Structure 1
């Protein structure tokens, strides 16, 4: 690349940044997406059980049953409410309780006698995620309290086994750290496609694309300028999102190198911006571009592993998503930010994103040249 090409790209980058800053609506949306949108998604989509409503039918009235009831404490559960057996169905029908625990008569006596009594747990699974998490919590609490009660009793064996948990990387189990980081990735991908595509659509609608065609610049220089300018602005805004929103407001503890994370982000933005230009060459209006964006953005996010584990997908789909740069970017981000991985661990993801980004740029450049030739 010659000095003239670099000078052309620099001047076109300045034009792109100036045009973006003058578009107040788009600029305000970008600020909103990198701040309030990330924060709202991190705090509004919780994978934790918080203040779940619990009703208890205590037909035993024993020390063990009271011990189990007392174990349900905030912030996971609201204070347990005693319910009469004949009121359970009506209470569940009116959604008063998400969970109802029914402790049968003679429960403590049957436990001490080793007769294996059963406790019934009724769950309102309308909110399926909270129902599943809460059911596991309640089962664990009941089993733990029964185990402690038996170990206090002389009948407890001396060889009882106690399970010790050791949580790695996110010891406090803060779900907002995970959802916040994944929300940032979603916003970066969205902005990279939207801004570069909108920049090209804006050139066409304002009639300035014809001005570029008569200038002594090449298609590759125009495309690189749009990618570098918009990608640079997005990268700058992501710094604000990481340090102000994720670390400042949500308390995210970055385990790895921030510079390494942003190196991977810059490579991924190169791919996403090239994709945005490609979609803009297919659309004739901004409305068509928005529809194409939704058609591409949603599958990329849903299949990236950001919110759904790849292991939960069918085998053929797991193989197919290996061709998505978004999958590798999510893996790279989780490894660096959460597990403190270095380049020796994440270099395959870097290489995959770089190769896919180069292929996307080459393919988009061919389409972009055809697009410019049609405008002449």
Structure 2
């Protein structure tokens, strides 16, 4: 069967795009960094995790209860507590030596046993935002737990017979690297699809090669489709290597669902995002303008997609508006497939939404692209 000449044109134009990308070292370094170093650091450098946090304790009670509380802070969440005096608190926090300082008052154990009101002071270095927020809650839980255990052994009342059993599904050890690595791959797919297609069009305009295309027997649809399939192929290949090499191999994160199903959804997402990248490139005159436009579009899309903050916690207006963004549906299907092992029977609404959004975005971008190159002719 003879190949349709339009398909051959799209194929050859796409190969041209791949060669242009291969000769662009800046873009190659960006792709390599985005799917290796960026994915690894996003998985391992989780700021809300407590790791070797500095803590000091002013023990003015020197009782078994105060010693028990002191012994409850141990690595890897905390470094071994420094035992300091009351006069050392302010100087130590002023120079940033301690993130937290506990002050256990005199007669603390005696007051607790006698039922008299008493309190422990927790000094927090609030300039360490993530550690201050997470550590404050953890420290309170540790102290309350140690006090409850201490008092339970000295109380005559019967302890309750019912307990709380916690079962963490899909991530039994609550490893935050599992979430960070996979979500970073999803974010990088979104970002690079915009950058590569937009940069390819602007690069042709700056180098004057777009005028060469205008005098050739090619249509705007063929030019757009060549950029869409070639740049999508690069992003999909880089994402596949990162998912298997960095996430699975280096980080040891298990993948629950079907990778072919995930990459099928990623291909639909790339169809929409690459068309959006071309649309942004037709609005911008150069790369700096394109970068500013991309920031205005990309950051809200990623922040409100549900990958960073659950959509249920967002205002209703933001949730409704973000249903028109492809990132919302891609994050939803990506989390369902990679985290929970969902099949097509679960994620088909997201696939359908991406197909509709991508078709509309491609149509709008094609109209804008036609008018742009028509003014250049």
TM-score by length of 2: 0.94
Pair 1:311–1:125, CA change in 2 (3 A)? farther
Q: Distance in 1 between matches of 2:155 and 2:26?
A: 72
Q: CA deviation at 1:160?
A: 5.5
TM alignment of 1:40-119, pairs within 5 A: 40-119=41-120
SS in 2 for 1:5: helix
2:140 is equivalent to residue 159 of structure 1: no
Instruction: Write out per-residue CA displacement over residues 210-236 of structure 1, whole angstroms, 9 at most, x where no aligned residue.
Output: 222222222111111110011011100
Conserved? CA contact 1:150–1:156, under 8 Å: no
Deviation at 1:156, TM superposition (A): 4.6
Name the residue aligned to 1:230: 231
Partner in structure 2 of residue 363 of structure 1: 364
> Are the equivalent residues in 2 in contact too, given 1:278–1:364 (CA < 8 A)?
yes
Q: 1:164 to 1:59 in 2, by over 3 A?
A: farther
Structure 1 residue 49 displacement after superposition: 0.6
What SS does structure 1 have at the residue aligned with 2:232?
helix
| Shift of residue 46, structure 1, vs aligned partner | 3.1
Query: What TM-score, normalized by structure 1, do the two folds share?
Result: 0.94
* Distance (Å, rounded) in 2 between the aligned partners of 1:331 and 1:130: 29
Are the equivalent residues in 1 in contact too, given 2:47–2:130 (CA < 8 A)?
no
With 107-116 and 178-187 compared, the bigger mean Cα shift is at 107-116
Within the alignment, does 1:207 sit opposite 2:175 as a pair?
no
Contact 1:56 1:80 in 2 (8 A): yes
Q: Cα offset for 1:269?
A: 0.7
Spell out, residue by residue over 1:174-233, the C-alpha distance to the aligned partner (whole angstroms, 9 max, x if none): 222212222212221111111111111122222222222222222111111110011011
- After TM superposition, the structure 1 stretch with the greater mean CA deviation from structure 2, 137-146 or 105-114, is 105-114
- Structure 1 residue aligned with 2:260: 259
State the distance in 2 between where 1:254 and 1:203 align: 39
Give, in angstroms, the shift of residue 64 of structure 1.
1.4
- C-alpha deviation, 1:118, in angstroms: 2.1
Is 1:278–1:368's contact at 8 Å kept on the other side of the alignment?
yes
- Which structure 1 residue ranges, 5 or more long, are not aligned? none
Once the two structures are overlaid, the 10-residue window that deviates more, 219-228 or 167-176, is: 167-176
CA distance in 1, matches of 2:159, 2:36: 55
State the shift of 1:10 in Å.
Answer: 1.4
Name the SS for the 1:317 alignment partner. Answer: helix
Residues matched between the structures, number = 375
* Secondary structure, counterpart of 1:167 in structure 2: coil
Superposed CA deviations along residues 3-42 of structure 1, whole A, max 9, x for unmatched, are 2222221121222112211223322321222112222233
Q: Map 1:140-289; keep pairs closer than 5 Å.
A: 140-153=141-154, 155-159=156-160, 161-289=162-290
Residues 1:300 and 2:301 aligned together? yes
| Equivalent residues of 2:304, 2:328 under 8 A apart | yes
Deviations 1:329-370 (A, max 9, x none): 112212221222222222222222221111111100110111
Contact 2:59 2:105 in 1 (8 A): yes
1:116 CA displacement? 4.8
Gap regions ≥5 residues in structure 2 = none
Secondary structure at the aligned position of 1:142 is classed as helix
**Deviations along 1:157-186, whole A, 9 cap, x unmatched?**
232654332222112222222122222122
Question: How many angstroms apart in 2 are the aligned matches of 1:157 and 1:347?
Answer: 53
SS of structure 1 residue aligned to 2:9 = helix
Judged with a 3 Å threshold, the aligned counterparts in structure 2 of structure 1 residues 262 and 116 are, in CA distance, closer, same or farther, namely: farther
The Cα shift of 1:256 comes to: 1.4
Quote the RMSD (CA, aligned, Å): 1.8
CA distance in 2, matches of 1:117, 1:252: 46
